[in-house]
Structure 1
Amino acid sequence: MEAYFPDYHKEEDTLDFESFQGTKSKFIQPASLKDPQLEKLKEALIDWINRTLKTEHIVVQSLEEDLYDGLVLHHLLSRLVGVHLDVEEIALTSPAQICKLEVILKELDKRLGLQDSSLIKWNVKLIHNKDLLATIHLLVAMVKSFQPELDLPPNVKVEVVIVEVIRGGIKSAVETEVLTEDKDTASASSNNPEREDPIEQLLKLETHKVNTVKKAILHFVNQNMATLGLQVADMDKQFADGVILLLLIGQLEGFFIPLFDFNLTPVNESEMLHNVTLAMDLLHDTDLQLPSIDPQDIVSQDTAATLKVLYALFNKYKGK
């Protein structure tokens, strides 16, 4: 006897199938998930997040489990770019988390300069669904844009399975996806003038343009030193002994540096070097990302070294 299937069941099945046509999903191959290079990249990103958010007392243990609700991404955006969005601090429900992520990712995409949607390898749905591939792509893009001096493990690639629903059924393919550039590409990128240290670029400009930026930074310094009754007129000379630099760091970070820790009125180069070295150590403790700077250069009134430190402080605190 021939089986009978009512037509409406067939129509329903067809409608359900057609509603998924054209959808495409991407998954990391199980073997690639165990790749040591991928593990190193995940560890590097977790370490970067935890160092960046150390003062916020936020600790991330898993990229998959700790970023999907928007809390960590919101704090990263605030610390790295100085942007404070009007969103819930802690979103408990799924709709609230999605709404929060929409606001955060819209701002992030704008700050990352990604106007072409085809270049964006993440979205609200993927991040909220704890998609590891999308989460890593987003974090790597943030590091490259906001802290390009940070070294991530190079040449990390994973095998991905791409599954697409088509009219005739399901089509799948395996591809290699690049998460970080290889060393040669990264080196070429670092040699690009657009990736050069901003202060090094600045010092190559005409004198009047350099002075304009120095005035802006000086204005920022004096705004923050006004409550102490201090004013800086000569950026190179007045930061050489480290005293004002230490006081400025204390003002910006909101802590008091005991007077016995440094020389308030240094009388020789050794005492000045002690002050500047202490200042640099404090900056590293606050996770301020700085290029390699020798404290002796600041004591020696090296314009570039002094500007690099002040520019980093200015860039971090100008919007606060």
Structure 2
Amino acid sequence: MMEAGMFEYNKEEQSVDLDFFQGEKRKIIQPASLKDPKFEDLKQALVDWINDTLKREHIVVQSLEEDMYDGLILHHLLVKLADAQLSVADIALTAAAQMHKLELVLEELDKRLGLQDSSQSKWNVKLIHNKDLLATVHLLVAMVRRFQPELNLPSNVKVEVVTVEVSSSGIKSVIQTEELTGNNSSESLSDSGRGDPIEELLKLEAYKVNTVKKAILHFVNQNMSSLGLQVTDMDKQFSDGVILLLLIGQLEGFFIPLSEFTLTPVSHSEMLDNVTLALDLLCDVGVTLSSVKPQDLVSQNVTATLKILYALFKRHKKTETAL
């Protein structure tokens, strides 16, 4: 049995309503785990991911505990990431309306996440609406893994939880460790390595790096040939954003009006504007690269350039051998 003082702390921190959870088991994150830097990093990474994904919708999330419970953000993420259309009100004001919206959103999300039995899920309508942080994090991590597998979440994040069972005879509890992210925080080039695929690639021998760069370069030039353009220096030719914008347009099948960017940029600010537009367009089509900033490309950062091109390579590679 846990100490009474510890339970009172959790009750205050996470607003545990014992009557609400009568007859159920409830998992509560231990106070020490709530303050663990790795857990804080994971929460921040998820907040950044949501804000990057919903940037065009002018939606800003500040707290996973306070901003996810009513279904609004989850609905927008579902529409943005899975192009799902649900007949639900954009804003649900009453608790009943919020629960109904959450039920529809989570039902669709569970389908997209491949969950066959929702009873085995680590989240549900009641937990999310009650601002359960553990359930919310589990759900968001699952969404990242499904919709943005290239996103590099903090790896090997675990928390100590108290499983509380409330009944008419009293409260039973068990303390356990629960895993939020595994050792492999991102897909590798072979889907079996660890860490960011490009950062891992650059640790290899030079000839292996060059082999991958040549494959990506071939992919780029294949798609740029119809425009009469050829890339010979991957490290430099993407720094002003022009070829990147044209490549995105070719791959995604849309035309970017010349009035939207500078075709022959000269100044640093013109290059920065071009690259910023390119990253915004990538975000719009579901390619989120939170670790890449516009300035990285303008300054000819090799790692940043490769991350973007590799993401496009993975997204559109069809016939050639995958990396």
Flag whether TM exceeds 0.5 (same fold).
Answer: yes
Corresponding letter in the other structure for 1:115 = Q
Please tell me whether the aligned partners of residues 156 and 180 of structure 2 are also in contact (alpha carbons under 8 angstroms).
Answer: yes
The aligned residue for residue 70 of structure 2 is: 69
Match of 1:237 among 225, 231, 235: 225
Report whether the alignment pairs 1:289 with 2:300: no
Identity between Structure 1 and Structure 2 (%):
52
Q: Secondary structure at the match of 2:174?
A: strand
In structure 2, relative to structure 1, the CA distance for the partners of 1:167 and 1:97 (3 Å cut) is: closer
In structure 2, relative to structure 1, the CA distance for the partners of 1:306 and 1:188 (3 Å cut) is: closer
Higher helix share: 1
Query: Structure 2: which 5+ runs fail to align?
Result: 1-18, 198-221, 231-242, 298-307, 318-323
Please tell me whether the aligned partners of residues 27 and 160 of structure 1 are also in contact (alpha carbons under 8 angstroms).
Answer: yes
Question: RMSD across aligned C-alpha pairs, in angstroms?
Answer: 4.1
The aligned residue for residue 135 of structure 2 is: 134
1:193-237 per-residue CA deviation (whole Å, 9 max, x = no partner) reads 8x9x9xxxxxxxxxxxxxxxxxxxxxxxxxxxxxxxxxxxx8552
Please tell me whether the aligned partners of residues 110 and 118 of structure 2 are also in contact (alpha carbons under 8 angstroms).
Answer: no
The aligned residue for residue 32 of structure 1 is: 33
The aligned residue for residue 180 of structure 2 is: 179
Q: Secondary structure at the match of 2:98?
A: helix
Rounded Cα–Cα distance in structure 2 between residues aligned with 1:144 and 1:181: 11
Rounded Cα–Cα distance in structure 2 between residues aligned with 1:39 and 1:306: 30
Please tell me whether the aligned partners of residues 249 and 256 of structure 2 are also in contact (alpha carbons under 8 angstroms).
Answer: no
Corresponding letter in the other structure for 1:282 = L
The offset of 1:282, in angstroms, is 2.9
Question: Which structure would you say has the larger Rg?
Answer: 1
Please tell me whether the aligned partners of residues 153 and 185 of structure 2 are also in contact (alpha carbons under 8 angstroms).
Answer: no
In structure 2, relative to structure 1, the CA distance for the partners of 1:133 and 1:261 (3 Å cut) is: same
The offset of 1:31, in angstroms, is 1.6
The offset of 1:192, in angstroms, is 3.9
1:151-193 per-residue CA deviation (whole Å, 9 max, x = no partner) reads 01111111111111357532111000111112xx447887448
In structure 2, relative to structure 1, the CA distance for the partners of 1:142 and 1:190 (3 Å cut) is: farther
The aligned residue for residue 154 of structure 1 is: 155
1:113-145 per-residue CA deviation (whole Å, 9 max, x = no partner) reads 011335410000111111100000000000011
Please tell me whether the aligned partners of residues 27 and 161 of structure 1 are also in contact (alpha carbons under 8 angstroms).
Answer: yes
The aligned residue for residue 204 of structure 1 is: none
Matches within 5 A, 1:199-214: none
Rounded Cα–Cα distance in structure 2 between residues aligned with 1:307 and 1:39: 29
Please tell me whether the aligned partners of residues 245 and 279 of structure 1 are also in contact (alpha carbons under 8 angstroms).
Answer: no
Please tell me whether the aligned partners of residues 238 and 244 of structure 1 are also in contact (alpha carbons under 8 angstroms).
Answer: no
Please tell me whether the aligned partners of residues 37 and 156 of structure 1 are also in contact (alpha carbons under 8 angstroms).
Answer: yes
Corresponding letter in the other structure for 1:170 = I
Rounded Cα–Cα distance in structure 2 between residues aligned with 1:52 and 1:111: 18
Please tell me whether the aligned partners of residues 262 and 274 of structure 2 are also in contact (alpha carbons under 8 angstroms).
Answer: no
The aligned residue for residue 259 of structure 2 is: 258
The offset of 1:73, in angstroms, is 0.6
Rounded Cα–Cα distance in structure 1 between residues aligned with 2:315 and 2:186: 23
Query: Structure 1: which 5+ runs fail to align?
Result: 1-16, 198-233, 264-269, 295-304, 315-320
The offset of 1:82, in angstroms, is 1.1
Corresponding letter in the other structure for 1:87 = V
Rounded Cα–Cα distance in structure 2 between residues aligned with 1:313 and 1:282: 20
Corresponding letter in the other structure for 1:85 = L
User: How many pairs are equivalent?
Assistant: 238
Q: Secondary structure at the match of 2:115?
A: coil
